Amino acid sequence: MALIGPNTGRLDLPAALLGPATGGTDPPGRAAVRGWEAVTGLAAPAQRHAIDDLRVLLPADAAVRREVVREAVTWLATNLGDPRLVAARCAELGPAAAALGVPPQRLEALAILLVDALRANPPAPPLRADEEAALRDAGRLIARWAEAGVDAAGHEPVRWSATVTAHDRRRADMAVLTLRTYLPYPCPPGLRAVAGVAALPGRARECWVGNRPAVDGVVEVHVALHRDDPVGAELVERTTVGDRIDLYRPTGSAVPLDDDAPLLLIADRDAVGPIRAALVALRAARTATAAARPAAASPDAARPGTARPGGAEPTTARPGSAQASAANGPGHRAAGAGRDGSGAARQAPDVTVFWPAPVERDVYRLADLAPEGTVVIRDRFADDGRDWSGHAVFVAGTTAANTAVTARLRAAGVAPERLVVAGIG
């Protein structure tokens, strides 16, 4: 710990590292990080680029960022006396950082910026000159080791190292694993994680992801056993907390959250993960927009039985019911934010979810996930004569289930270009 002094235990990052992207303007909290040009040799524009690079390498949630950086600095201080260990870990991070858009050469500047993060921690004693010099030297070594990792892994798939922090056996043939990654895992709703285990080198399988990993550095992986599925069996039956899992680049197509058309989400029994991730993203976007908008008094807000502003009270409807038809009729729009998570004050399209009833018992309660205004149909999708031609559609399930659903959707007027199909098994 002598390397970084007493600042390690209570790290507070400068506001510039916690706020939104700068967009070319001076970063917030500028007073807290003055002197970077003298410390790093970077002019102001280069400093802004370095800050934005660092944001890409950290979770979106500010509190989680502090924890991740604190753990990283503590680990570095504890293990820097073992260069072989540190070099190996940095070599693993290099390809993942490059995949996130940060060339390894830039890591040296990012590491140097952490020196200023430590210096911005009053009332802790300031870093001594030799401590700052040691950290800058460590940053240069980290950058070189990471760059070496990129060069050595040019013929191998990019890999994110993850640690199992929870293993929840939801059914005899299904588990939900919570994984913690060192760097954010770029997996928007709808994409599938590719996971490998040490017991089966060279083998991997796709897994549904039920959250937004870039927010908090956590990947929620859903694994349902399939026939001839050794990796799945390892993940479901033999993986425990503390084990290491390798994640490779996610695969598939994302849920069309940026489409202004009404959205139709259809899940097979074992494929609720991407639907969950999409609903969480929609709910977060609407919550952010509601928080940014001035509160407006509504005469209906206090009436019994009406939806509370910001509350998630999904509607349950059966296929073909008057309630479902009204909710999906022409011109009906649910209030909310854009699906891109930007908080832009625009109306969000309607969302209809076909969510198999057994999932309510075995995996999730949808009431905890769906944003206000969502129509939930706890049944399989069927061709009941309704016109879905105006919807953007995302279907998740097994290959066999998706084939049947796709035929029904085309019969219901959904154009191929508006249809995203994701399958495992």
Report the chain's terminal Cα–Cα distance, integer Å: 49
pLDDT confidence band for 349 (50 / 70 / 90): low
Tell me what pLDDT residue 47 has: 63
Helix axes 129-152, 107-119, angle to 10 degrees: 150
pLDDT confidence band for 6 (50 / 70 / 90): very low
Secondary structure (3-state) at 193 = strand
Tell me what pLDDT residue 367 has: 65
Tell me what pLDDT residue 239 has: 95
Rounded to whole angstroms, the Cα distance separating 265 from 417 reads 15
Residue 330 has pLDDT above 50, yes or no: no
The tens digit of pLDDT for each residue in 211-231 reads 999 888 899 999 999 888 999
Tell me what pLDDT residue 371 has: 79
Which is nearest to 112 in space by CA: 42, 22, 181? Answer: 42
Q: Which residue has the tokens 């098994």?
A: 425
Residue 45 has pLDDT above 80, yes or no: no
CB 406 within 8 A of CB 419: yes
What pTM, to 2 d.p., does this model score?
A: 0.72
Q: Where are the alpha helices (DSSP H) in 234-272?
A: none
The two three-digit tokens of residue 255, written as one number? 């849920």
Average pLDDT of the segment spanning 70-99:
83
CA dihedral 101, 106, 109, 113 (to 10 degrees): 10
Q: Which of 30-39, 134-143, 327-336 has the lowest mean pLDDT?
A: 327-336
Rounded to whole angstroms, the Cα distance separating 93 from 100 reads 11
The tens digit of pLDDT for each residue in 152-193 reads 766 667 889 899 999 999 888 899 999 999 888 999 999 999
Tell me what pLDDT residue 151 has: 78
The tens digit of pLDDT for each residue in 100-119 reads 888 777 777 766 666 666 66
Residue 314 has pLDDT above 90, yes or no: no
Average pLDDT of the segment spanning 244-253:
94
Give the distance, in angstroms, between the CA of residue 343 and the centroid of all CA atoms in the same chain: 17
